[in-house]
Structures are given as C-alpha cells and as structure tokens.
Structure 1
Amino acid sequence: MLDLSKRLAFLFVIVLLASCRPVPPELSQTALPISASEHIDPDKLKERIDNVLDFTLQHRHLNTQDHAAWQILHGSLAYGRKFPVTHEGEEISVVDYLSQGGKMNGWTIERGNKLQSGEGEEPKYGMRAVTEPGTRAGQGHFDQWLAILSQCDVPPEATFVVGPDTFTMTNFVQQVQLDISRNHLREFSWTLIGLTKYFPTDHSWTDSTGKAWSIADLAQIEVEQGLANGACGGTHRLIGLSMALNRRKQAGLPIDGPWAAAEQLIQQSIEDARKFQNPNGALSVNYFARAGSSPDLAENLGTTGHTLEFLSISLDDQQLQEEWVRRAASYLCEVFERTEEVSLECGALYHAAHGLALYRNRAYGPGDE
C-alpha cells in the first residue's frame, strides 16, 4: 500500500489533470515578484491590453495535428470567430472549420434524439457533444462546447457537418435541453451560459425523461452547490450565474427567488476577490476562499485570469473603473508580457486572454476587429 505522502501526491496529480489549474513551466519558478504601481494610467493600460491580446493571437498558433478540441476551443472563447486553427498548412476560423465538417481530436459529436419535423420532411436529430472529462482533449464539462460557441455569437441557423449529418445550432440547443437529466453531476454552469444566449431567463421545457425544467431551476441548483466544489475556484459557476442574471436584468424581469440568491452570491464573491487581492495586483490563488499568493506566474495566469473573467462580466460600470480592478488587469498584462517565450497551458492562457478582452471591451469599448 502507498504511504500517505505518496497517496497525497498521486491525488494532487489527479486534481491537476481534472481542473483548469495550469501546470507551471519551469521558467516561472525563478521569476521575480511583480510589483504593481499604486496608480494605473488607463490609457497606457488599454495599450498594454491590446498589445498582449494581439501578441497572443498572432504568435501562439494551434493546429489540428498537435492540438485537440479542448485547447483549440478555449482559443475561440477568447477571440471568438476570428480565432484560427491551422489545418494541413492552411489557417481557417475554428468555427468555420467545424461548421464545414472539419475534424479534430476531442470534437466528439453524435446523433441525439429524433426531433419533431414537419410532414414529408426528412427526419431531424439533435446534436449531442460527448463529455470526456479529464482527457484535456474532449469536452471536459457538460455543455462546455455549447457555452463556448454561444459566446462566439453562433446564430441558431448556423450548421455543423458531422459525418453524414448536418446539424443546426438550434439542434444543438434542443439536444442540450433534452439531455438535462443526463448531467449526473448537476453542474449547469456552462448550460446556463448557452441556454440564456438563445432563450429568455423565464424559459422552461421538458427533457427526454419527461421531467420539467426551467432556467430558474438551473440557477437555483448552481447557487445551492456553492463555490467550494466548483471548477476553478467556482469562477465558472459565477460566470454562468452572472451572464444569466445580466440577461434577466436587461429584460426587466424581477430579481427574486433564485435570482436574488444568485445576486447575493455574486456580490459577496466580488467583495472577496477585492478583499483577498495581493499587493502586487494579483488576485488570490485561492480564489474566493481566502487570501493566497504564489511566485509561479503560470499559476497566477490561471487564477487571476479566471477571476478577472468573472469580474469583467459581473461588475457594474462604476465598479469596473475602480483602481483595484485596473491593478488586476495590469498585473495580468505583466504576466503575459513576461511569459511570451514560455509554452503555457491553453485553458489558463485563453481564459486569461478572455478576461482581458472582456475587461477591455467594457472599460474602453470594443477594439478593432
């Protein structure tokens, strides 16, 4: 039997593989601490963000031979439909590549339930993305691909060719609703992101087992689960709730029941992120649980990046302009700048890029396409 220290080490490796937590490159072990200045010039910060995002897009390339869907689609999360993948020497938008029937390791799609179709029409089927947790190749969480594609503004009528089948984005959304009861982990962070892109937050439906569901039900379950067992410190849970809550507010619907509870959790998490921020601008490596710092730039890229991503979605316009948020964005820019020659784990890298892109668009307006 393994002694306790070896068993703990083994479990630690498993946790690393199953989460978005970055595997630190050796170069970052000797990196000097970063000290953020007391005042961040907004115009200079905007320029730094633009430079960082441009460098990452132009100089970090992914291809279908060496990289898998898990890595590639994280790039699409950060850059949307303009993010390219290289296939057989040619660059093409990832979304366009998949739409045209392109294949990549981990893009595992199967025919789902038979859908209703009009008289005389060809049979239609749902589009199901297979979940392959822990592989770092396929979909790691239920409805992760739906969430990413929805944030790329893929319209309902867009098509995806998979073998002999041609599915629409609507077929994808329909299958997700039918499969809600298959989500045995009851982890609906990505489901909320995807469904509230295409439906109002008072939407309800019936799944393939006959069970009735609503978007409010998913929000309630997410709030009840809390942050302790949530992926990446609970940031994904907070992002899903924040995006759904924002859409509910935009529609002028009441913030009551699970929505009031979601608002409370989000606001408390914002305060915890601010309270636990490190003097150099980094957000806590322990996320919202307690204060914590690390000399490892790769770890900070993942933790500060995920948390800034959440903050850039959840903060109101006034909160977004507060100095502590600028300092977090400035710190993240410096991490990017100091790791330009380092091979970085794609999940942490592109979540951090997405956080900066969201912050940039909200604080300064959209950048040049």
Structure 2
Amino acid sequence: MNKKIPYLQACRLAIACLLFPVFVLADEVSSDLAKRIDKVIEKAHARPLKSDVNTPWVVMHGVVAFEKDLEVLEVATGKKMNAIEYLTRHAKFEGQLIYQDVKGVPTLMTRGRGDKSFLVQDHVDQFLFAYADAGIGLDHEILSRSGRKFTVADKLKHAKKGFKDDQELGWTIVAASTYLPFDEKWKADSGKKYRTEDIMALAIQRDPRRETEGGPHHLYGVAYALDAYLKQGGKLEGTWKEARDYLDKYVALTKEYQQTDGAFSGSVFFRASRPRTPRQLVSSTGHALEWLSVALSPEQLREAWVLKAVERLVTDMEKFPTEVFSDGGLYHAAHALRRFREATGK
C-alpha cells in the first residue's frame, strides 16, 4: 500500500531538490574568491583615463573591459565623458579626430608593417570588435574630421566590403556574429560572397600561434561566434561542430601547459613556460582566461584548474599597482574576470 506524503512535506522536498544543485555549484566559486575578483575588477576600473595621456588604443581596450561603464577625462574641457562617446566623437590623434572620411568611408589609422603600436587601431576591425562586444548599437553616431557623420552600421558595411580571406579574423567574426543574421550573405569588393559561417570556416583552419598575441584573440572570436550561433538556436554540426572541436583542442593544450601555481603558460601554445614577471603573468593568464570564459560552459569554468588560474591572476592584480601591468594586459584580464563572474553567477 502506497503512503501519501503530507502536502507541506512534499513542498519542502520539491524546493530542496530544486535548490540543492544551485548550492553545490555556487559553493565551487567561494564567496571569498568572488569578492576578491570584484575588488580587482574595480581596481582596474578606477584607473583614471585622460585624453592627453592615454591613446585612443588604450581607451578602446578600456571599453573592451568595461563596455558602456567607463569615463575619460577630456583635458581640453576639463570634463569627464563616456568612453564610447569619446572614441566615436571626440578622440584625437596628432591634433585631429581619429575618424577620417575617406571617400565616404569612416576610416581609422590602422598600424601597418613597421608602424608604432598602441596609438589608434592596431588591427583591422579592432574598434568594430570593441563596439560589438560592448553591445553598441548600429545606429550609434561617429563624427569624422570632415564633419560628416557616420554610424557603426557604416563601419560594418565597410568591413563587409573590404573583407579578405587572409586578414585577421578574430576581430571581424565577433562583429559579424553580433550584428548580422547568421544566414545573411554579402559580397566583398573581391567579388567573393561570405556568411559568418564562412569566416568561421576560415578561422578554424588557422594555427592560433601565428595570430596576434599567439592566438587568444583569434580563439575569443571563434568562441564568441560559436556561442552566439548556439544561443540563436543553431545546431552543433558541420562547420560549427568543427569549431567546437577546434576550441577543445586548445582548451586541452592550455590546461596541459598550465603552471603548478595556476598561471597559464607565458609562451601561450608554443610550450609550457612560467611567466617571468607579474606584468607577463597578468597579460598571458588574463588573455587565456578571456577566451576560455566564453569557450567553456559555466560548469567547466568552475573546475579546479580554472579556479586555480583565476586565483593566481587575482593575486598579482591585488598585489601590484595597475601601472605595473601593460594597458592591454590589464584590460583584457579585467574583461576575462568580468566574463568569468557573469558566467559563473554573482
């Protein structure tokens, strides 16, 4: 004979079953570590940005880390303004607005072979990537030197027309997977037609070690686009399944080359090596965690090896002033930690 469970007891049992898995997962990222992460994120956020000291390239990296929640002091006016507004309407290089009007195209000075780095844009579509990753709308206005007003949509149109098989792909694929429907096909100036999936197919044929910084930005783009595709109901098959396998290969290599103290390799995917300085550690471990924070599931991000890397990164960010770290290293590390916190729960 079956015994009936009293109604109140049944309710309590149901609630316990629902809550128990949440408690188990949440306990894996300790409250102490979560607080430490938040403090170093705020430490990076509090770093002042000034128009006469920090180049547009630096401010753009700040936007990568903090999206719409960042300000820059415009020295000429003595007023602070939103960093995205600053980049798109006020930022200057050598006394002129950074956006040029070249035959009706909003163009940025982009580093070429032999040019100095860290001034305006070091890579094709790098600013467009930052806008996409930060959730900036296509209708956001851009002011050029000529006084002509453009929008982010104009930048995207130019990126599509100028796309080439042999360009860097990590930046562009983030923009494409943010702003374009996955089934949209466009024609580049070369005459070739592309969809976002075609960019992915090109990307997963690349050796990340031959890409910028040894691969983390390239892998971030692949992971970001795959995540966006799956969130829109895409199926893990064909090119997209190959992309997952591609990411898994480099997840395994990252784990294999991880140091005993938790830091990720200072030599990225070339070999296992210990970062030589706090500056290198924050850059290499931060860059690696950044793409892993998108490539891994929330459950995988709670695994011991990832938590060990997070704690090692946080330790050096706590210990040293922000001036010790490179601009890019600091902001990519902050971005990585923000992504990690978003994925694993606050």
Query: Normalising by the residue count of structure 1, what TM-score does the alignment of the two structures yield?
Result: 0.80
Query: Is 1:127 aligned with 2:106?
Result: yes
| Structure 2 partner of 1:51 | 39
Query: Is 1:84 aligned with 2:71?
Result: yes
Alignment root-mean-square deviation, CA: 2.0
Structure 2: which amino acid aligns with 1:43? S
Query: Is 1:109 aligned with 2:91?
Result: no
Query: Is 1:71 aligned with 2:58?
Result: yes
| Structure 1 partner of 2:312 | 331
The structure with the larger Rg is 2
Name the CA shift for 1:176/1:301 in 2 (closer, same or farther; >3 Å): same
| DSSP 3-state at the match of 1:51 | helix
Of 136, 141, 144, the match for 1:154 = 136
Q: Distance in 2 between matches of 1:346 and 1:159?
A: 26
Structure 1: which amino acid aligns with 2:74? H
Name the CA shift for 1:201/1:290 in 2 (closer, same or farther; >3 Å): farther
| DSSP 3-state at the match of 1:228 | helix
| Structure 2 partner of 1:98 | 87
- Greater RCO (CA < 8 Å, at least 6 residues apart): 1
> By how many angstroms is 1:40 displaced?
7.7
| Structure 1 partner of 2:151 | 168
Q: Distance in 2 between matches of 1:104 and 1:260?
A: 43
Instruction: Note if contact 1:108-1:129 (Cα within 8 Å) is conserved in structure 2.
Output: yes
Q: Distance in 2 between matches of 1:209 and 1:260?
A: 28
> By how many angstroms is 1:97 displaced?
1.9
| Structure 1 partner of 2:286 | 305
Q: Distance in 2 between matches of 1:244 and 1:318?
A: 20
Instruction: Note if contact 1:201-1:244 (Cα within 8 Å) is conserved in structure 2.
Output: no
Query: Is 1:315 aligned with 2:302?
Result: no
| Structure 1 partner of 2:161 | 178
| Structure 2 partner of 1:118 | none
Name the CA shift for 1:341/1:359 in 2 (closer, same or farther; >3 Å): closer
Structure 1: which amino acid aligns with 2:149? T
Work out the percentage of aligned pairs sharing the same amino acid.
24
> By how many angstroms is 1:173 displaced?
0.9
Instruction: Note if contact 2:278-2:325 (Cα within 8 Å) is conserved in structure 1.
Output: no
| Structure 2 partner of 1:263 | 244
Residues 285-340 of structure 1 deviation map (CA, whole Å, 9 limit, x = unaligned): 12233321133111111100000001101101210111111111111111111112
Q: Distance in 1 between matches of 2:276 and 2:155?
A: 42
| DSSP 3-state at the match of 1:81 | coil
Q: Distance in 1 between matches of 2:148 and 2:58?
A: 25
> By how many angstroms is 1:209 displaced?
3.5
Instruction: Note if contact 2:99-2:143 (Cα within 8 Å) is conserved in structure 1.
Output: no
Q: Distance in 2 between matches of 1:41 and 1:103?
A: 40
Of 212, 225, 229, the match for 1:244 = 225
Point out where structure 2 has 5 or more consecutive residues left out of the alignment. Answer: 1-26
Name the CA shift for 1:195/1:129 in 2 (closer, same or farther; >3 Å): farther
| Structure 2 partner of 1:10 | none
Q: Distance in 2 between matches of 1:40 and 1:345?
A: 31
Flag as ranges the 4+ runs of structure 1 deviating above 4 A.
none
| Structure 2 partner of 1:145 | 127
Name the CA shift for 1:252/1:292 in 2 (closer, same or farther; >3 Å): same
Structure 2: which amino acid aligns with 1:127? P
> By how many angstroms is 1:112 displaced?
5.0
Name the CA shift for 1:208/1:130 in 2 (closer, same or farther; >3 Å): farther
Q: Distance in 2 between matches of 1:57 and 1:341?
A: 10
> By how many angstroms is 1:228 displaced?
2.0
Instruction: Note if contact 1:85-1:94 (Cα within 8 Å) is conserved in structure 2.
Output: yes
